[in-house]
Structure 1
């Protein structure tokens, strides 16, 4: 008898199998609910193959300018964050960013009761669609709220688990207040130009991470007060992104690419399918000058040649900068890419050598992740484990010191 490999059930099973091979849905209960909930019914405008593609998001709602506002996150990302959240039966859960309602359905299965789940979104069209899908699929008990996600939903607090499927630059005070003592919060937090899905547990008034994973999400609406960006070329084709607590003045960087270029190489190589992304995370721990440079696709490599044009780590010091680059090398085992740094400006030599030092330090322990500790904004300096990244509602400390992180 032939097996139908195109049915929703078969495609869903294949999706989960692929997500598992990617290292996600390692919690048995997460695998179970992914196999159980019909994802395609939450994205009815998508064909079945798209609905069950293991690493593609399905955009369901856009701003008038065409930017995506809401989507069903890629299944591997959904699985990754649910692994991080560790929902237990009976947990009360708040989701920031309703999306299609699919994640709320999964959370309903994990907690064992749809009435334990509250999801909020600022856009009424999104919540209307999510409510309809949840009703249709048997999860009508989920509370779907239209409102500002940054404010949470205090009337149903406290929550044992909070998950954000929109990316904040800071941790809103309301989320701190609505999280139960000892609870967990998972959010795609942004700092130093990059974003990570960070799983925090509440410990004596602080949030301490035990998982930090690469991710990318639509920004939390209205949460742009701390992240800065500006062009650093006259034609606006190269830009810089940094945080408000960094001493960056984009006006003094104008014309920096007209200055002599210095290139330095680290001796560290990677294969074509090997990620270098952990380097950026490492740099955010060890050098407070870390930010992001982005170059449009038509920018000549003679002007700016970052390893990834739209998203590359950089170091900035006054009117100088250095950014990550690479060059191809042929070896007996095939092509590899050597990582290095290109710098411009008076401090280019120091910055490029510093970036190469960072590459070598990261390369010696590529899988190591820092602990992220979030303190309330009024925490005095003498109670911090290290120099913080200053945000509006929190002081963020990143450390590779296991003794500091476990002593909190």
Structure 2
């Protein structure tokens, strides 16, 4: 911690936080910037010091399960700003928030819509809602409706809602949210499919929810939901696990011990500059490939066992008795150090699967971050003849991701 940070006032730290968020392209809506500047975040996270409260990239855990896992937290401010940009709240709109957190986001929403009583926030945990209600009251926004209940059921008493924002991660969109969203309304939720999570900004278009932005993110999972994500260890010490969706033809148990088999490595020739993201590869593959899933590798796993790209969530492809995943190596290019993306595979078809993954990296590289698909969420039971592309089936929804304007990826026919 710098001397400046340790001695600066909360107001100065808050102004610096917002400036840094703006510099990364978030809080680009003037009204979002203003409410971030006006709201004392430290009042909602009293157990964190001001420096942590106003760190734009730090989430603050406020409640935990008995086993230590995070139950509720104050999301990192940059992500709060990004999702508020996506939500596009207008004055006078009625808002439902799923996941009360600390009450900070509800406070921001109350200011954006102009009346605290137009905001309803729901959480399943009584300790969370009590803390949120107390913080909102102490900061002058006690008019927000803080409800203890199952977020998957929404809150019909105040419906319909012009805006719904979800600050816990659902695997699907529960029917209650659709029913309580006003026609033409907007829903922002950190959805999960094929092992990765994206904050999706969705607008109701005659019963179909259509995205106009997708941000990579991670959140505490929605409790009480019929979650369709499957997970299981693939090493005997259970330090490496594989995560997939239940509509995928992936037998996780059959892959256990696969990392003990000989390794095949291939390199794509595609390099990344410092801090350049590669997550678009994962998103791109979810539009066409049903084998896409996620590896979770604990930090103490040695690279000779599993050596994926850095991060908590790692892209993998599981095909019957073969597994391949993204890896990276440092390369010197013109005197500058870059990172080259590649693939490591195990199993009988490892040479083919690693080369396929490298091909997909090469296909992604020219467009990079501009290459973003549109997510359309249809109700479950929608006939295939009415869908616009390959389907990811959920319990209550059918997800379809398509690129409206781009060349097909390698291997797409």
CA distance in structure 2 between the aligned counterparts of 1:280 and 1:339, rounded to whole angstroms:
13
Matched residue SS, 2:136: helix
CA distance in structure 2 between the aligned counterparts of 1:21 and 1:205, rounded to whole angstroms:
36
Spell out, residue by residue over 1:14-68, the C-alpha distance to the aligned partner (whole angstroms, 9 max, x if none). Answer: 1111110111000001001111111111111211111111111111111111111
CA distance in structure 1 between the aligned counterparts of 2:26 and 2:312, rounded to whole angstroms:
27
Q: Which residue of 1 aligns with 2:392?
A: 389
Q: Which residue of 2 aligns with 1:35?
A: 37
2:94–2:113 Cα contact (<8 Å) kept: yes
2:94–2:163 Cα contact (<8 Å) kept: yes
Alignment of 1:276-287 (within 5 A): 276-287=278-289
**So what's the TM-score if we normalise by structure 1?**
0.96
1:297–1:309 Cα contact (<8 Å) kept: no
Q: Aligned-pair distance for 1:292? A: 0.6
**So what's the TM-score if we normalise by structure 2?**
0.94
| 1:375 equivalenced with 2:378 (yes/no) | yes
Q: Aligned-pair distance for 1:203? A: 0.2
Q: Aligned-pair distance for 1:346? A: 1.3
1:92–1:160 Cα contact (<8 Å) kept: yes
Q: Which residue of 2 aligns with 1:153?
A: 155
Q: Which residue of 1 aligns with 2:169?
A: 167
CA distance in structure 2 between the aligned counterparts of 1:21 and 1:276, rounded to whole angstroms:
21
| 1:341 equivalenced with 2:359 (yes/no) | no
Residue 71 and residue 51 in structure 1: after superposition, are their counterparts in 2 closer, same or farther (change >3 A)?
Answer: same
| 1:110 equivalenced with 2:112 (yes/no) | yes
Matched residue SS, 2:287: helix
Matched residue SS, 1:56: coil
Alignment of 1:16-55 (within 5 A): 16-55=18-57
Residue 13 and residue 5 in structure 1: after superposition, are their counterparts in 2 closer, same or farther (change >3 A)?
Answer: farther
Select which of 56, 77, 80 maps to 2:79.
77
| 1:178 equivalenced with 2:172 (yes/no) | no
CA distance in structure 1 between the aligned counterparts of 2:142 and 2:94, rounded to whole angstroms:
16
Q: Aligned-pair distance for 1:216? A: 1.0
CA distance in structure 1 between the aligned counterparts of 2:311 and 2:372, rounded to whole angstroms:
25
Q: Aligned-pair distance for 1:283? A: 1.4
Point out where structure 2 has 5 or more consecutive residues left out of the alignment.
Answer: 1-5, 407-413
Matched residue SS, 2:331: strand
Q: Aligned-pair distance for 1:260? A: 2.4
Q: Which residue of 2 aligns with 1:198?
A: 200
CA distance in structure 2 between the aligned counterparts of 1:224 and 1:88, rounded to whole angstroms:
33
CA distance in structure 2 between the aligned counterparts of 1:325 and 1:192, rounded to whole angstroms:
19
Q: Which residue of 1 aligns with 2:3?
A: none
Q: Aligned-pair distance for 1:361? A: 1.2
Q: Aligned-pair distance for 1:258? A: 2.7
Q: Which residue of 2 aligns with 1:274?
A: 276
2:35–2:108 Cα contact (<8 Å) kept: yes
Select which of 255, 258, 262 maps to 1:256.
258
Residue 224 and residue 302 in structure 1: after superposition, are their counterparts in 2 closer, same or farther (change >3 A)?
Answer: farther
CA distance in structure 1 between the aligned counterparts of 2:9 and 2:339, rounded to whole angstroms:
42
Q: Which residue of 2 aligns with 1:360?
A: 362
Point out where structure 1 has 5 or more consecutive residues left out of the alignment.
Answer: 404-408
Q: Aligned-pair distance for 1:353? A: 1.2
CA distance in structure 2 between the aligned counterparts of 1:24 and 1:296, rounded to whole angstroms:
31
Q: Aligned-pair distance for 1:298? A: 2.7
CA distance in structure 2 between the aligned counterparts of 1:212 and 1:245, rounded to whole angstroms:
22
2:239–2:301 Cα contact (<8 Å) kept: yes
Runs of 4+ in 1 over 3 A off after TM superposition: none
Q: Which residue of 2 aligns with 1:298?
A: 300
Matched residue SS, 2:368: coil
Spell out, residue by residue over 1:233-280, the C-alpha distance to the aligned partner (whole angstroms, 9 max, x if none). Answer: 222122100000100012221222232221111110112321112211
Matched residue SS, 1:76: helix
